[in-house]
Structure 1
């Protein structure tokens, strides 16, 4: 206050400029410059409507370039600003700024220095808030831009590294392709040589079969007896586990046999298997090359399930293993039906059978290749002869009596000029017999 006159908070020369600028920024339709309403009674929704018109672009900058609020709104609308709370804050500040401007208008007429000063401070305060919001926004955008630039720099560097790696991999791939082509040619040459060697081996095997000496034949005969014994063991075990009466089964094979001990009844089952396997022993020559090519005879059946050896296995299995016996072993006849249909199951029981069948098949092929070969049997009750027979239970006490044949386990063979004895089970003959 000076000389009893109160000076306005803002110089008079600047008041008109401020009023002019804010009049251009904040034009109201519902409130006039000379309104007598109390600004504190204004409804907030009126200001919101004016803010909406401001955001919608109703107010345009004049030729003097006064475009404070629309410029900020335009920046916000073009920057994909995701801060919803910050946008609402800007609108609140604009509403308060418009209210301060109205208060400033009303303080001019009638002229009230205190109200002018208060409104002026409120206007400056809200402008300061807007500046802070704008600066914070620009700083945020600057940080995002720097972060994006750094990411792009890293990505470009990584792309260059990957491109160099790709070129190196392409060069390696080209080199590997050349190596593969070379190896393919080498493999083709080796494959041709291998086929020649395989054919040569087959020829030698065929020649070896033709030149089989008596020692080799002797081994085959022994393997026939051994394989029959090996197959009888699981057969007896399965029958016992399935509830069969083994004494009755042994008697049905050969009745009234006098066994030294009960465990010798196993020979009845071996005799049964031998009788079935060698039934119809054929001296017709057949090729055994396919069987000799494999260590495991089941591979022969897998390679050609319809060959002569496969037919032999099929017929002998169906002859030896009775349907009732198989059903008691496995609970069904699936394996039997499988064999009957011309296929060969890869089960332990059937594999053991095929191993036995292979030696019988080889014995037939070898016997047929030799002139004057024959198989002979020994009937029950025949007096034991050491020349034609072999006692399966070892040495005999010849001083204490004579012996008769109770059971023939395997028949005898005459192949070439070699005699292979029949294996028999004996009992002591009574003196009065």
Structure 2
């Protein structure tokens, strides 16, 4: 007895009929998919079905089998089912491409219409300034027409998308016509801009003409006023002489000049101290071997240096600016014409600001006087020593106008002395100037102690150490010279 046969289960047997059916089904299926175009997913599904038929998996026994006959090829007279008709129509329906020439023409028309809109809109804006109702109405209608044309072109494009064969009555011309229309619109824009600019130019020309006419009238008026002023000035010179040409006025101007010289000297000494100068040594170089009553009195030496330098040439009518032919003022004749000229210059100078005068007329006599006196007061070596050690924030080391305080104090001092000089030469005879030499006995008639210590006659004979401010003689009136005296004792 074979035990293995009883223990091992028997495999289920496939009937011969079912095997034939499977083979026929497989063959017919291959033929069907070979004739028809299908998707890759459908083919993969069929392969999976064939693999199931070819597999050696177990079959469930006692199942009924239904035999399906393969499809027969279609004849020409055979009726097509609705599903099959849908498939055929889908394969036959394709998207036809648009007409390239028609599309290019449509695009050109769109650009031409946009250019026309830009030109019409610019004309509408131009018509508002200046306001022109008629032009505004015309431009507004043109804008509405252009917008309507853009709407029509948009509708044409939609129709072409739906029906590529559409185009029998299109509201567009050729590409060349569209380009011509676009260029015409650009010419309209340029014409509008050109007209606007030309109108502005004409307006400016009319304004310039009006201003020139007004300037001519003002110049004529100024000429008449200048003539009247000159005649009035000539008529009032005698009256001004009576008012100005007095000892009191001269002494007042001299006091102002002394005050400005004190201020400038203080600024100069401060700069020397900042530069590290030895002030005692510097004072001794100006007036050597002077026994100062007080240590701080060396400032009078610097004040003397400034005063004597700024008054140098005071006795000349040109204040030393002319090389030859100048008239000395020490009583050498009187010239009423020159006196009147000096008085005119005096009135002109006091009527303006000296700082503005230097900037407005850099080549005038007063400007040349300032330059000359600065070169005499501050020589290049002294200038380099004073300014070289200053911080860049304090000074720009290019000229004597660098420091604003130094510049302003110097100009005010020069202006006061210049005014005093013009007043001196307005007198008839002109004012004399004098200074006292060192070692001369002190005289209360011609001299004044600059320290204000010697106010009463002293038993001791006092000597002049140096002149600080020169003195002046107006006719028989003497304005004392300020001097520093040697031999005084400090009472403080």
5 Å-filtered alignment, 1:347-426, equals 348=404, 349-370=406-427, 371=429, 373-394=431-452, 396=454, 398=456, 401-402=459-460, 403-426=462-485
Gaps of 5+ in 2: 1-32, 41-71, 99-108, 133-195, 318-326, 328-337, 390-394
Question: How far did 1:322 drift?
Answer: 2.4
5 Å-filtered alignment, 1:89-238, equals 109=75, 113=79, 117-124=82-89, 161-168=124-131, 184-198=212-226, 200-201=228-229, 207=237, 212-214=244-246, 215-238=248-271
In structure 2, relative to structure 1, the CA distance for the partners of 1:401 and 1:429 (3 Å cut) is: farther
Question: What are the Cα deviations for residues 262-318 of structure 1, in whole angstroms up to 9, with x where unaligned?
Answer: 222211101011111222333336755286166332444444444443433333211
Task: Point out the structure with the larger helix share.
Answer: 1
How high is the TM-score relative to the length of structure 2? 0.51
In structure 2, relative to structure 1, the CA distance for the partners of 1:397 and 1:226 (3 Å cut) is: closer
Structure 2 residue 272 is matched with structure 1 residue 239? yes
Question: What are the Cα deviations for residues 69-95 of structure 1, in whole angstroms up to 9, with x where unaligned?
Answer: xxxxxxxxxxxxxxxxxxxxxxxxxxx
Question: How far did 1:241 drift?
Answer: 0.5
How high is the TM-score relative to the length of structure 1? 0.57
Quote the Cα distance in structure 1 between the aligned partners of 2:451 and 2:385.
32
Quote the Cα distance in structure 2 between the aligned partners of 1:203 and 1:242.
54
Equivalent residue for 1:102?
Answer: none
Aligned CA RMSD, in angstroms, stands at: 4.7
1:329 to 368, 386, 400: 386
SS at match of 1:256: coil
Question: How far did 1:360 drift?
Answer: 2.4
> Does the CA contact (< 8 Å) of 2:292 and 2:298 recur in 1?
yes
Question: How far did 1:376 drift?
Answer: 1.4
In structure 2, relative to structure 1, the CA distance for the partners of 1:347 and 1:296 (3 Å cut) is: farther
Deviates more, 1:153-162 or 1:399-408: 153-162
Question: What are the Cα deviations for residues 109-149 of structure 1, in whole angstroms up to 9, with x where unaligned?
Answer: 466656x5434213455788969x99xxxxxxxxxx9xx99
Question: How far did 1:330 drift?
Answer: 2.5
5 Å-filtered alignment, 1:265-344, equals 265-284=298-317, 289=345, 292=349, 295-331=352-388
SS at match of 1:219: helix
SS at match of 2:131: helix
Question: What are the Cα deviations for residues 170-193 of structure 1, in whole angstroms up to 9, with x where unaligned?
Answer: 999999987775565344323322
Question: How far did 1:396 drift?
Answer: 3.8
Quote the Cα distance in structure 2 between the aligned partners of 1:356 and 1:269.
15
Quote the Cα distance in structure 1 between the aligned partners of 2:448 and 2:458.
18
Gaps of 5+ in 1: 1-35, 44-105, 135-144
Structure 2 residue 40 is matched with structure 1 residue 38? no
Question: How far did 1:249 drift?
Answer: 0.6
Structure 2 residue 282 is matched with structure 1 residue 253? no
Deviates more, 1:118-127 or 1:377-386: 118-127
Quote the Cα distance in structure 1 between the aligned partners of 2:202 and 2:282.
74
In structure 2, relative to structure 1, the CA distance for the partners of 1:188 and 1:228 (3 Å cut) is: same
SS at match of 1:167: coil
